[in-house]
Amino acid sequence: MRVGGIALDQEETGNIRDVDRERRAALRHFLRSRRARLSPGDVGLRTGGRRNTPGLRREEVAVLAGVSASWYTWLEQGRAKVSQDVLDSVSKALNLDRTERAHLYLLAGVNPPAASQEVTSEEVSRLRLAVQAWQPAPAFVVDRYWNILVSNAPARTVLGVQDGDSNYMWSFFTDARNRSRYPHWLEVAGRLVGQFRVQAVRFLDDPRFELMASGLCSASADFERLWARHETRDTGMATVEVRSAPGRRTRFHHVVLGLHQRSEPLLMLYLPVPE
């Protein structure tokens, strides 16, 4: 068997089929469980007659989603090719929340839609508690565009992170103080641009990333040169050295955590490296 021009042996082919079979079984179980938790009254349908099983029938979900009963049955069996519009309709019919909706997309073999650009005040409040609890080590949170949402005092004093209406990427490349703050500034800069590139690809439908990159290229020759390399960097963990005080250097493990699928915001945590 050949996949993408690559010849696979019998064992590898069997593994692909096993994964596909498991995904279809998970999709079937997930949709059935979401139907079972709803009653006709929950979705505005009239109840009548005796039901042998709890929850909505397949035919009722199909009506609510605007598809045929046969097609919805094929979806539960993993036999239907789906589009984002249809998955959105099924998600609404089953009253799926954001996490459940993304889960349905993945089980159906479709990339989940981009997360909402808005970060709620409740989310910001919870993130602020987490960032404050990380003291005395630096920590801060950025949104998808690397705007600073919250930061703790060590992040501001040691890393020069600015609170309020500030963009971390813009500040890093346009504030000359960062060059003296980071002994290996160019290495850190390359990693940041690579991370920004990965984030931009996650949101290809968002034109603001292209506008940001264009503005940064105009403002910083270093950013322009690094951006032209088209390098990508993992957003997991790296080691960063910072001049934390006059005559003193501190090394940190920099950990970047995404909070959910195609995540925003991003939680930046710094763990001091034992000397």
State how far the Cα of 62 lies from the Cα of 70, in Å rounded to an integer: 9
List 245's β-bridge partners, or say none: 248
148: tokens are 């600073």
6: pLDDT strictly greater than 50: no
Q: Give the DSSP H/E element, type plus range, for residue 87.
A: helix 84-93
First CA to last CA distance, the chain: 53
Q: What is the dihedral of CA 181, 184, 187, 190, to 10 degrees?
A: 20
* CB 36, CB 54: distance < 8 Å: yes
d(CA 84, CA 112): 8
Q: Which residues, including other chains, have CB under 8 Å from residue 194's CB and lie 6 or more apart?
A: 231, 232, 233
Domains annotated on the chain, with CATH: 2-107 (1.10.260.40), 121-272 (3.30.450.180)
Q: What is the pLDDT of residue 115?
A: 58
pTM exceeding 0.75:
no
pLDDT (tens digit per residue) in 143-190: 888 999 999 999 999 999 987 779 999 999 999 999 999 999 999 999
Q: State the angle between helix axes of 69-76 and 58-65 in degrees (0 to 180), rounded to the nearest 10.
A: 110
25-29, 109-113, 125-129: the lowest-pLDDT one: 109-113
Determine how many CB atoms are found less than 10 A away from the CB of residue 221.
Answer: 10
The pair phi, psi for residue 171, each rounded to 5°, is: -65, -40
